[in-house]
Amino acid sequence: MITDLKIHFSQENITYDGKQLSAHFAYRRFGICGHSCVGFIGPCHVNTSELVDLEDALAHDFIKAKSMLHFITEIFINDLNLMIAYQRLMVTCLADELHTLLTDKTIRRDGDDIFIDDRKFTVSIASLSAVSSLIHLGINIDPTGAPHHVNAIGTEELEISAPALATSVLNRFKHELSSLAKARAKVMSCGEYK
Amino acid sequence: MITDLKIHFSQENITYDGKQLSAHFAYRRFGICGHSCVGFIGPCHVNTSELVDLEDALAHDFIKAKSMLHFITEIFINDLNLMIAYQRLMVTCLADELHTLLTDKTIRRDGDDIFIDDRKFTVSIASLSAVSSLIHLGINIDPTGAPHHVNAIGTEELEISAPALATSVLNRFKHELSSLAKARAKVMSCGEYK
Amino acid sequence: MITDLKIHFSQENITYDGKQLSAHFAYRRFGICGHSCVGFIGPCHVNTSELVDLEDALAHDFIKAKSMLHFITEIFINDLNLMIAYQRLMVTCLADELHTLLTDKTIRRDGDDIFIDDRKFTVSIASLSAVSSLIHLGINIDPTGAPHHVNAIGTEELEISAPALATSVLNRFKHELSSLAKARAKVMSCGEYK
Amino acid sequence: MITDLKIHFSQENITYDGKQLSAHFAYRRFGICGHSCVGFIGPCHVNTSELVDLEDALAHDFIKAKSMLHFITEIFINDLNLMIAYQRLMVTCLADELHTLLTDKTIRRDGDDIFIDDRKFTVSIASLSAVSSLIHLGINIDPTGAPHHVNAIGTEELEISAPALATSVLNRFKHELSSLAKARAKVMSCGEYK
Amino acid sequence: MITDLKIHFSQENITYDGKQLSAHFAYRRFGICGHSCVGFIGPCHVNTSELVDLEDALAHDFIKAKSMLHFITEIFINDLNLMIAYQRLMVTCLADELHTLLTDKTIRRDGDDIFIDDRKFTVSIASLSAVSSLIHLGINIDPTGAPHHVNAIGTEELEISAPALATSVLNRFKHELSSLAKARAKVMSCGEYK
Amino acid sequence: MITDLKIHFSQENITYDGKQLSAHFAYRRFGICGHSCVGFIGPCHVNTSELVDLEDALAHDFIKAKSMLHFITEIFINDLNLMIAYQRLMVTCLADELHTLLTDKTIRRDGDDIFIDDRKFTVSIASLSAVSSLIHLGINIDPTGAPHHVNAIGTEELEISAPALATSVLNRFKHELSSLAKARAKVMSCGEYK
């Protein structure tokens, strides 16, 4: 029950190189202690050696974009199954917001990826540290630099304000976790079918 | 890691009265042993006394519809937080399918509810039994009989085939759980931010 | 991490007979949804058949007092080991408060019991329901009616205000759980000794 | 249920520099395998770089004392929430003992700290390794060397025997864990409030 | 880590009818509090309505034998996956003992069943109560009364002393759990393969 | 519930030096993602520094054999107690197979070791990585090189085909985990003994 997600959007420009997906990023960088989701804008450049998705790492993949809107979520649980479910819900929050913003586009979620008119809009991974579970969600602003095999799209081309989108996603995800907690607390148990 | 969800759509007409949200429904009714999601069509009539949502029960609410498409999901874990997250993802699978079917309608997910053009399309609850965790998701086919304060909509009015929708939701949810499992298995851990 | 314990002291006089140590007491009685600790004053009369401490039940014991200050804590976890540790900490919060109020008395905690000058001041039990974990802590106000083998003492004889004590215990316990959560969130992991 | 805590007080003088808060310290140093709490006396010098409390580390704090009574507790669970609760209970065991030894002093517990007449008597941290959860509790004997902002007090000034205190704390904590286990094993479950 | 299984062989003749597979049987019947494995001899008659194996219950099966050696194991965990693994290990302890006693017979374990020369020697089930996990293991002494489709064998025909077998199984299982605990406590963690 | 163990026997000759007991060995080496048990043949040489059994490491032990049949099992859970139980069951699967192959030998399992006519046939360890739990089981083919204090025996002397044994063990263990999962899914809960 995550009733108290601390959300923060930083005005600092921060390059995401994979090292930010680590325990206590929000605490060390922004002084935020506890469950948190922090957003910031900056370039993305994750080399193969920093990838934690082993499938991508073995494929010698990398992640690169001139500008992205990044979110780092840290929850102090050691439960990767639950965290991956939360990751999907966070991506769903973004998709829900996009449906309100882009009524004439096709928005497709496939696992933790979002495609807009079949062009890749996001990258995401969920992992765990020794003391917490973590999610990175990166949303293309200007995807220039993405690997050649990726047909990417960003908020600039879509004429979406990245800071406004950040605020919406942070609030939607905070609301999602709160409503999960409420659902947990108000349900009664059930028996054996006869 | 639920890699092996057993999915089944039954041709039997079964009334859902709340008792089906119980351990081993799929085993006793359909002989299916293990994690499962089973779908069927039938009237819905859950009296206040059978509601497991305490908020609704205290409000003396009830659930009634002339015809609904029902799903009962049973996962053999005792983890209500994870199950409620899975419930949201199952509802998301339905929303994702609706976005492909109803391009001219507004589809809005709010927690575990789906609204189409602001009319209520679904009911859902996640709970746990002594040996498992369970989800009921009910989709209006013909919502006649719903409480007066609910402006409901069903598949008949939307000209959607309920059996076809059932198959899509079952397959999407099975795929969702498989891809959660793959994500769990292929990720590496991360360290402490410095 | 229980960061958001909802605390409430009710002015209603409520008899505690054991049935209150049940899931959703605070929700049904006071409309409080989520982790909670609620206090109230009233007689205590728990018959053998309502005891959940099997040792006491097998000894045909009972709990009776003309007036007690009661607390029901409900946390939506299914972890009795953790809940029993929280129970001890709640009792410790009470002992800590008593040390500030009664500087000339001997206050002794033995497990989940508190004795003042070797006279029994409290009763307590931690248990679990199907959806949550629960604590009852009862503090004698007027222990008249206690079993003959028990030399009991209450707040009246000690000239302590029960409502004021209630407020202190509720606040101390809420603070304890918050500080546990903070400690969880700010600690780094450690390695292998060499 | 920790029914079998192995307790040991070593006569060796061992400097605590933070590295001892690691998996298998008791095994490697004293040959003790299993849940354990070991005590020893020695200087304390934990540099900022060895601190696992991130709040302290970011404040460039350090821990130093000419002589301390140290305890390292290791429990083979991976549950930091439970371990932090056990830490508080261990500190409570110390406070309970101090109340019997120092009847004319004010003993105040604040989270995992103990103050005697508002002077700092202890340091403590709970953390986890890859295979276990760990607690360090350090009690000042001679606090000389403590940071200037800390008004510390030790057992020498209080005329308390550190070895005798060690024995009392070890036995109280072992008893606490045993009684937690007994409470877990003898309680029955409870139902839903109506 | 179950380091302290309490084992007991009762001389009382007790009929096993399924109700004994319940929380606190050992406490209520023998005054044993904590993790336990108790053995006794008596008839077996479990009607369909008392079966907790749903597969057997749906097949309208029953368990009956003129005389059996019964074991009830209760561990105060709420983890059915772990308990079923412990059940298999308990059955393995019996098989290991049989291999030393019956060198000219074929002893075959299939899941939680043991067959001697392809004749059924045991029945077993693992389940959970609200506060604990439980195992019943029943060993035929005189299988008279078993269902017709079962070709059963018992200790009488095999000329094995049931009380001596009880003692061996209790000691082997206690040793197994102790050695599991030791293995848990002495192992170090490992890293990522490169 | 491990319903889907991926089993694989590799024809490659691979030296086991301890580094293979690491997260994602099967993925990186064989492209197998998910719960897995992979077998291969090769020399064994684990230096003291690579041992994860602390008891052995402190005794300056090592593991060496000219040829062994190795299995690496990886399950994506973070539960060492359950994994050690699975390890014992895997060793039991091997013992069960040996009983069918070697009817005139004494096969003795002691914890996670198997002895044939009191000569050591296997080595095994269970540990955990940051993202999974792991088992190594090594079966002597030609034990030449084993430490002097070990009286070892291998499949060559026993005239057992190592590849055939590998296939049997892989299939037996896969079946064991499947039947554990089925047992978990079909059992009903039980109540309180009265």
Q: Tell me the percentage of chain A whose pLDDT exceeds 90.
A: 97
DSSP reduced 3-state for E80 = helix
Is D184 part of the contact surface with chain E (CB cutoff 8 Å)? yes
Give the pair of three-digit tokens for residue B22. 């119980």
Given a contact cutoff of 8 angstroms between Cβ atoms, the answer to whether C65 and C59 are in contact is no
> Residue E33 — left, alpha, or beta (φ > 0 → left; ψ -120 to 50 → alpha)?
beta
Given a contact cutoff of 8 angstroms between Cβ atoms, the answer to whether A16 and A68 are in contact is yes
- Listed in sequence order, the DSSP H helices in E72-141 are 80-101
Q: What is the pLDDT of residues D103-127, one digit of tens each?
A: 999 999 999 999 999 999 999 999 9
Chain A nearest C-alpha distance from D162 (Å): 34
Give me the residue from B55, B80, B192 closest to C131, CB to CB.
Answer: B80
B–F: how many Cβ contacts below 8 A? 54
Q: Mark yes or no for CB contact F3/B1 under 8 Å.
A: no
Q: What is the pLDDT of residues D56-66, one digit of tens each?
A: 999 999 999 99
Q: What is the pLDDT of residues F138-173, one digit of tens each?
A: 999 999 999 888 999 999 999 999 999 999 999 999
C6-13 sheet: strands from edge to edge: C6-13, C36-46, C63-75, C133-142, C122-128
From the list C90, F49, C140, A190, the residue with the least C-alpha distance to B25 is A190
- Compute the C-alpha angle C176/C177/C178, nearest 5°: 90
pLDDT on residue A69: 98
DSSP reduced 3-state for E51 = coil
- Find how far residue B72's CA is from the centre of its chain: 7
| Confidence class for position A178, pLDDT limits 50, 70, 90 | very high
Cα separation, D44 vs D67, in Å, equals: 6
Q: Tell me the percentage of chain C whose pLDDT exceeds 70.
A: 100
Q: Is A167 exposed, middle or buried (0-12, 13-18, 19+ CB in 10 A)?
A: middle
Is B54 part of the contact surface with chain F (CB cutoff 8 Å)? no
Q: Is the pLDDT of residue B94 over 90?
A: yes
Q: Mark yes or no for CB contact F107/E99 under 8 Å.
A: yes
Q: Which residues numbered 55-114 in E keep a CB inside 8 Å of some CB on F? A: 55, 57, 79-82, 84-89, 92, 96, 99, 107-109, 111-112
Cα separation, C136 vs C143, in Å, equals: 17
Cα separation, E130 vs E122, in Å, equals: 26
- State which residues of chain C have pLDDT below 70: none
> Residue C168 contacts by C-beta under 8 Å, 6 or more apart in sequence?
C97
pLDDT on residue A148: 87
From the list F164, F2, C52, the residue with the least C-alpha distance to D189 is C52
State the pTM of this model.
Answer: 0.97
Cα separation, E164 vs E69, in Å, equals: 11
Q: Mark yes or no for CB contact D131/E187 under 8 Å.
A: yes
Q: What is the pLDDT of residues D39-97, one digit of tens each?
A: 999 999 999 999 999 999 999 999 999 999 999 999 999 999 999 999 999 999 999 99
Q: Which residues numbered 142-171 in D keep a CB inside 8 Å of some CB on E? A: none
> Residue F111 — left, alpha, or beta (φ > 0 → left; ψ -120 to 50 → alpha)?
left
Amino acid (1-letter code) at residue C183: A
pLDDT on residue D79: 97
Cα separation, B72 vs B54, in Å, equals: 20
Q: Compute the radius of gyration of chain A from its Cα atoms.
A: 17
Given a contact cutoff of 8 angstroms between Cβ atoms, the answer to whether F47 and F62 are in contact is yes
Q: Mark yes or no for CB contact C128/D189 under 8 Å.
A: yes
Amino acid (1-letter code) at residue E54: L
Cα separation, D20 vs D23, in Å, equals: 8
Is A185 part of the contact surface with chain D (CB cutoff 8 Å)? no
Cα separation, D188 vs D185, in Å, equals: 9
Chain E environment of F97 (Cβ under 8 Å): none
pLDDT on residue B137: 98
Which DSSP state fits A130? Answer: S
Chain E nearest C-alpha distance from B21 (Å): 17
Cα separation, C76 vs C32, in Å, equals: 13
- State which residues of chain F have pLDDT below 70: none
Number of alpha carbons in the 13 Å side-chain half-sphere of residue A162: 24
* Mean pLDDT for the stretch of residues B138-159: 95
Give the residue on D whose Cα is nearest the Cα of E35.
D185
Give the pair of three-digit tokens for residue B51. 């509601």
pLDDT on residue D73: 98
| Confidence class for position A83, pLDDT limits 50, 70, 90 | very high
| Neighbouring C-beta atoms of residue F100, cutoff 10 Å | 10
A–B: how many Cβ contacts below 8 A? 157
| Confidence class for position E148, pLDDT limits 50, 70, 90 | confident
Is F35 part of the contact surface with chain B (CB cutoff 8 Å)? yes
Q: What is the pLDDT of residues A90-119, one digit of tens each?
A: 999 999 999 999 999 999 999 999 999 999
Cα separation, C129 vs D85, in Å, equals: 21
Is F188 part of the contact surface with chain E (CB cutoff 8 Å)? yes
Is D125 part of the contact surface with chain C (CB cutoff 8 Å)? yes
pLDDT on residue C2: 96
> Residue B169 contacts by C-beta under 8 Å, 6 or more apart in sequence?
B39, B71, B90, B93, B94, B97, B137
Tally DSSP H helices, then E strands, for chain C.
5, 8
Given a contact cutoff of 8 angstroms between Cβ atoms, the answer to whether D77 and D83 are in contact is yes
Residues in a beta bridge with E42: E68
Per the prediction, chain F carries an average pLDDT of: 96
Is F130 part of the contact surface with chain D (CB cutoff 8 Å)? yes
DSSP C33-60: -SSEEEEEEEEEEE-GGG--BHHHHHTT
Q: Is E114 exposed, middle or buried (0-12, 13-18, 19+ CB in 10 A)?
A: buried
Number of alpha carbons in the 13 Å side-chain half-sphere of residue A85: 23
> Residue F148 contacts by C-beta under 8 Å, 6 or more apart in sequence?
none
Q: What is the pLDDT of residues B30-79, one digit of tens each?
A: 999 999 999 999 999 999 999 999 999 999 999 999 999 999 999 999 99
Q: Mark yes or no for CB contact E181/D34 under 8 Å.
A: yes
Chain C environment of B128 (Cβ under 8 Å): 130-131
**Positive or negative torsion for Cα B71, B77, B80, B82:** negative
D122-128 sheet: strands from edge to edge: D6-13, D36-46, D63-75, D133-142, D122-128
Choose the mutation target among B1, B32, B132 for the interface with F, i.e. most F CBs under 10 Å. Answer: B1
Q: Is the pLDDT of residue E194 over 90?
A: no
Is A188 part of the contact surface with chain C (CB cutoff 8 Å)? yes
Chain B environment of F186 (Cβ under 8 Å): 24, 27, 33
Q: What is the pLDDT of residues C80-125, one digit of tens each?
A: 999 999 999 999 999 999 999 999 999 999 999 999 999 999 999 9
> Residue B186 contacts by C-beta under 8 Å, 6 or more apart in sequence?
A53, A54, A55, F24, F27, F33
pLDDT on residue C148: 87
pLDDT on residue E61: 93
Q: Is D60 exposed, middle or buried (0-12, 13-18, 19+ CB in 10 A)?
A: exposed
pLDDT on residue E87: 98
